[in-house]
Every structure is written in structure tokens, then in C-alpha cells.
Amino acid sequence: MLGRINHIAIAVPDIATASEAYRETLGAKVSAPQLLPEHGVTVVFVELPNTKVELLEPLGETSPIASFLAKNPDGGMHHICYEVVDILAARDQLVAKGARVLGNGEPKIGAHGKPVLFLHPKDFFGTLIELEQV
């Protein structure tokens, strides 16, 4: 079911500072910030030869990233995103095996313009998993 890792997401308290650190200190290519109000975040992507790192900053006080940063004020790994060929088939297979899909179970459009779903971290050893259809 799972394809390659699409990205690893890191929640950060200040996306401009984090972007600069990746760009200037690590020499990485960093995208322009993208606001995703439907997900409550601002994102940038650090492009690597084999995957991406997504830096997430809260977009408003009700952002799920705001509550994550309240517990982890310096930031930290937020989720890992795996690619799937058919997100609805993957969802149905996972639900049949007892995994919980967050939200209403219907895919939303993610930062790459493709359908995404999130799986409950308690079902995957404390790791929030995002699935993205490719």
C-alpha cells in the first residue's frame, strides 16, 4: 500500500527563521511560504534529492500546529507523509484493519494540490501519519 516517503514535517515556531537556517546554514533549496487556511498552517518545503522536509508554522491560534508547539515550544517532528496510489482504497483498507482516520474520513486537498488523509498517531506508535495520493 505505502509508496515512498513524500515528506517529513517539522513544526516550527517561526517559519522565516527556520527557512533561513535550512537555506543559509544547511545550503538547502527552500520554497516560498504557502498559506493553507483549510489546514491552519503556513508551509515551506525544503527540497532534497530523495524527499522533502515540510516546515509548518501555525496559521492562527486554532491551528493544530499551535497546540503542538504549546507542548513543544522549540518545535519538532510533527508527521511523516507516505505516498499511496489510491487514497480511498488505502483508507478503506486501513479502516477495515482498525486504523482511525482523523477528521470526517474524507480526503482534503494538501499543499501539493493532491488528496491527503491523516491517521491517528495512537494507532502508529505515537507517529501522526499523512497519506498523499500520487
pLDDT, tens digit (0-9, with 9 covering 90-100), for 53-96: 999 999 998 999 999 999 999 999 999 999 999 999 999 999 99
Which residues does 29 contact at the CB level (< 8 Å), separation at least 6? 23, 46, 47
**pTM (2 decimals)?**
0.94
Catalytic residue among 54, 57, 83, 130: 130
Structural domain span for residue 128 = 5-133
Q: Is 130 annotated as catalytic?
A: yes
Instruction: Report how many domains make up the chain.
Output: 1
What pLDDT, on the 0 to 100 scale, is given for residue 116?
98
Integer angstrom CA distances of residue 124 from 25, 41, 94, 97, 121: 33, 23, 12, 13, 5
CATH number for the domain including 17?
3.10.180.10
Predicted confidence band of residue 117 (pLDDT cuts 50, 70, 90):
very high
Determine which of 9-13, 42-46, 61-65, 86-90 has the lowest per-residue pLDDT on average.
61-65
